[in-house]
Amino acid sequence: MEFFVHILIGGIATGAIYSLIAVGYSITFTTMRVLNFALGMWVMMGGMLTLTFHVIFGFNLLITLAAVIVIMVVLGIVGERVSVYPFFRTGSDVWVMSTLAVGFLFINVAELIWGRNPEPVPSFFGSGIIRFGSFAIFPQQLLVIVTALVIFFLLHVFYYKTLLGKAFRATAHSSDVTSLMGINTRLICISSYVLTSVLAGIAGFIIVPITFAEAQMGTVLGLKAFAIAIIAGLGAPRGILFCGIAYGALEALASGYFFTGIRDILGFSFMILVLFLRPEGLFGKPTRERA
């Protein structure tokens, strides 16, 4: 039983990270009908920046997090302007390749700056174990789970309780109508891209003590997060949280009781099945076009 709980908690923590990355796909897709296919590499940048500021420069966690957020904001603005906007405004789908190109550029730059060898980042709260009766969890895993839950709650508040969040939702519904209402849709699009880059940076910040810091750390994370976004539905953030946690728990249990390779077979096979049966995702709503 203890072995089962240990694996399950680890899987839930990993799933929480998947959800945090996957919701980035949802934000840009619902707002701009654009996907950042290099989102995993943006997660890697958050992790490598954490290595730099916290481990190499010795800054405390708050200063490190603030530095990561500021840099990810700048990268988000530049990334949207270079890899998305020139094609988005003309209705071209070339942004698919341009976002991937930016991601590979991130990997190459990371390898030039930090090298190819994995670098350890110590757990933010030490290597001790927190016990709740017969249950035990590492502090870093608890931080990951709590952070993901808090961010999803804040996103809900942002979308439904703030004026800017309502502008996001209006733009997602119809950018043409929104612009006629006097809302700066261009600013909304930039903000959505920046928001996803910041979330990716935060994901890299909290996951890097578990995965190690290396240039390739975000590749698999980004792929699995995309699968989760598809399974849940790109327009269903709360469904993404649920599916991400369930996905992480499933692959952890599959790895623990069978073998590691089967977890990816199960996950991506399920994604294909969902696409076949419900193209809009488990929690998505079918779109209806009116003549």
257 HSE (CA, 13 A, CB side): 14
What is each CA distance from 93 to 84, 86, 96, in whole angstroms?
Answer: 9, 10, 6
DSSP assignment letter at 279? T
Task: Flag whether 254 is in a domain.
Answer: no
DSSP codes joined into one string, 45-95? HHHHHHIIIIIIS---HHHHHHHHHHHHHHHHHHHHHHHTHHHHTTT-STH
pLDDT over 60 at 214, yes or no: yes
Q: Which of 62-66, 142-146, 262-266 has the lowest mean pLDDT?
A: 262-266
Task: Flag whether 249 is in a domain.
Answer: no
| pLDDT score at 164 | 87
Q: How many domains does the chain have?
A: 1
Amino acid at 11: G
Task: Flag whether 220 is in a domain.
Answer: yes
Domain region containing 147:
2-226
Q: Which of 55-64, 109-118, 180-189 has the lowest mean pLDDT?
A: 180-189
Task: Flag whether 234 is in a domain.
Answer: no
Percent of the chain with pLDDT over 90: 52
CA distance 284 to 223: 20
Q: Which of 4-13, 81-90, 98-107, 262-271 has the highest mean pLDDT?
A: 98-107
Task: Flag whether 258 is in a domain.
Answer: no
Task: Flag whether 264 is in a domain.
Answer: no
pLDDT tens profile 70-109? 999 999 999 999 989 888 777 778 888 899 999 999 999 9
Mean pLDDT calculated for residue range 48-75: 96
Percent of the chain with pLDDT over 70: 97
Task: Flag whether 265 is in a domain.
Answer: no
pLDDT over 50 at 290, yes or no: no
CA distance 114 to 251: 30
The residue behind tokens 């943006």 is 42
Question: Angle at Cα 38 formed by Cα 32 and Cα 44, nearest 5°?
Answer: 125
Task: Flag whether 257 is in a domain.
Answer: no
Say which residues have a Cβ less than 8 Å from residue 291's Cβ, sequence separation at least 6: none
